[in-house]
Amino acid sequence: MKIIQITDTHLVPSGRIVNGVDPEAQLRAAIDDILTRHPDADLLTLTGDLCNDGEPEAYTLLRDILAPVPFPVRLMLGNHDRRSAFVEAFPDHPRDPDGFIQSHMDTPFGRLLFLDTHEAGVIGGIYGPDRLAWLDDALAGAGEAPVTVFLHHPPMADGLAHFEHIGLHDDGALLQRLEAHRPGVRHVVFGHIHVPLVGVTAGGVAFSSGQACSHRFITDLADPAPWWTGGNPCYRILTLGAYGLRAYSAEVGQQATHRAVECPGP
């Protein structure tokens, strides 16, 4: 199974710039590249901060950009989003019974969970008792199947000073659920931090983030106010199979110098 992850698109109405970058141009380039190189993908996920200020016009733009995508799409909300405006633009997108933008998808390679950590007026994220109850049911419903989780805010410490106080404000409740699940959560996929990160929690849950498609940080672990920078539009290719999960980074606009020569066998 091939899943494409795009994160932190931060769309605004056409013509506006965010931190020196045109988010619309970045996302259009990424989608064009995906449709050209990965028409066989099984799923596209956008892991939050879909829009920078939650304007209805920005969600309408997102809907138009995603319209040509021929395979299923799952969208998650981040702290920059606005749930009411999102629902107006995407009224048929899956929601749980309480109206949160979260759902699950069962595949031959396990259950995929898409979580909603957005909370209006909060700089960072919330995953409270109402959402945890849905998660408990979704994890139990997976049975013996491996579980892969997608969300915006990392449920574990990311080690970046800038995000120390704007992460997931849940006192570790979500991570405790994931670490306690048996037979186990295969991987947690998130955005929010705008830079790539790979790790394993003390409880054995593997996790990784994608590079932001829009503006990104120059990575500095200790700086509470690191510099923004631009870069090529980017996304990740996640594959699920009997081998587990693999993640590959892709950037649009990289210049090719020569074609690799296949190595001979032994």
Average pLDDT, the chain: 95
Residue 232's CATH number = 3.60.21.10
Instruction: Tell me the pTM.
Output: 0.96
Look at residue 263 and tell me if it is in a domain: no
244 C-beta neighbours (distance < 10 Å), count: 14
Rounded Cα distance, 50 and 38, in Å = 21
Give the per-residue pLDDT at 259.
76
- Residue 45 clears pLDDT 90, i.e. is over it: yes
What is the extent of the structural domain holding 154?
Answer: 2-251
What's the pLDDT at 43?
98
**Could you read off the pLDDT of 16-35 as tens digits, one per residue?**
999 999 999 999 999 999 99
Q: Is residue 222 part of a domain?
A: yes
For residue 146, count other CB atoms closer than 10 A to its CB: 18
**Contact yes or no for 204/179 (Cβ under 8 A):** yes
Query: Contact, 56 vs 88, CB < 8 A?
Result: yes
The reply to whether 15 falls in a domain is yes
Query: Count of domains in the chain?
Result: 1
